[in-house]
């Protein structure tokens, strides 16, 4: 058996003391709120964001469009799925193509009466470094706060420096370290 271990952090944000402002997007980018039936749009951005990243090793489904689509379906069916914490960032009328281009995604679910959990935040590679990852997280936090949550939580792979630093820059703190064990031949064990 061939095993791999991935160090993961749980990070937490205290929503009770936070004065959250609506994040402003760069010119040409707009917010797209959740609507039922948009799983495919979120899945496509998720796929583009994760397919070449460490988390597609940790979670096999993230490296595959169909896996991302099924994951989005599952998230949207969770009893705690929170539309106001679930957003796309979109470029309407991108140059050279009709229609729109989705470039960022985030989903939020409540896991208790007081805690919201960020699911997958992703920004497609050519749109990174513009503050949109942070904006997605801040918008999601506002959604949790308006739903009466006291804290927000997430898990992140420790070597995913861009994500860990992004969450820290928003105000998340590491509260726990854990390990995810994967059997490279058969899939996830724990």
Torsion over CA: 49, 54, 55, 61 (sign): positive
Q: With contact defined as beta carbons under 8 Å apart, do 25 and 98 qualify?
A: no
Q: Does 39 bind ligand COA (CB under 6 A)?
A: no
Q: Does 29 bind ligand COA (CB under 6 A)?
A: no
Q: Does 64 bind ligand COA (CB under 6 A)?
A: no
Q: Does 159 bind ligand COA (CB under 6 A)?
A: no
Q: With contact defined as beta carbons under 8 Å apart, do 12 and 171 qualify?
A: no
Which residue from 80, 81, 84, 128 is in contact with ligand COA, where contact means CB under 6 A? 128
Residue 139: strand pairing partners = none
Closest CA relative to residue 32, chosen from 81, 74, 86, 75: 86
Mark residue 69 as left, alpha or beta (left: phi above 0; alpha: psi -120 to 50; beta: remaining).
alpha
Q: Does 130 bind ligand COA (CB under 6 A)?
A: yes
Tokens of 149: 């949550």
Considering beta carbons, is residue 82 or 106 the nearer one to ligand COA? Answer: 106
**Contact track, ligand COA, 67-106, x by CB under 6 A:** ----------------------------------------
Give every strand in the sheet of 122-123, ordered side by side.
Answer: 30-33, 87-92, 100-106, 122-123
DSSP code of residue 63? G
Which residue from 29, 160, 172, 182 is in contact with ligand COA, where contact means CB under 6 A? 160
Q: Stretches 21-29, 95-103, 160-168, 182-190: which one binds ligand COA (CB under 6 A)?
A: 160-168
Q: Stretches 26-34, 79-87, 162-170, 176-184: which one binds ligand COA (CB under 6 A)?
A: 162-170
Binding stretches for ligand COA (CB under 6 A): 49-50, 53, 55, 120-123, 128-134, 156, 160-163, 165-166, 169
């Amino acid at each position: 058996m061939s095993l791999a271990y991935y160090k993961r952090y749980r990070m937490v944000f205290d929503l009770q003391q936070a004065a959250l402002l609506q994040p402003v997007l760069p010119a040409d980018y707009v917010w797209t709120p959740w609507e039922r039936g948009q799983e495919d749009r979120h899945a496509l951005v998720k796929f583009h964001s994760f397919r070449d990243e460490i988390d597609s090793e940790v979670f096999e489904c993230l490296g595959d469009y169909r896996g991302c689509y099924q994951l989005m379906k599952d998230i949207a069916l969770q009893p705690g799925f929170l539309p106001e914490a679930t957003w796309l960032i979109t470029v309407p009328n991108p140059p050279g193509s009709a229609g729109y281009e989705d470039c960022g995604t985030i989903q939020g679910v409540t896991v208790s009466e007081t805690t919201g959990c960020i699911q997958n935040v992703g920004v497609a590679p050519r749109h990174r470094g513009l503050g949109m990852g942070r904006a997605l997280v801040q918008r999601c936090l506002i959604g949790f706060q308006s739903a009466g949550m006291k804290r927000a939580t997430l898990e992140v792979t420790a070597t995913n420096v861009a994500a860990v630093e992004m969450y820290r820059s928003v105000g998340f703190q590491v509260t726990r370290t854990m390990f995810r064990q994967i059997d490279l031949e058969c899939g996830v064990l724990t």
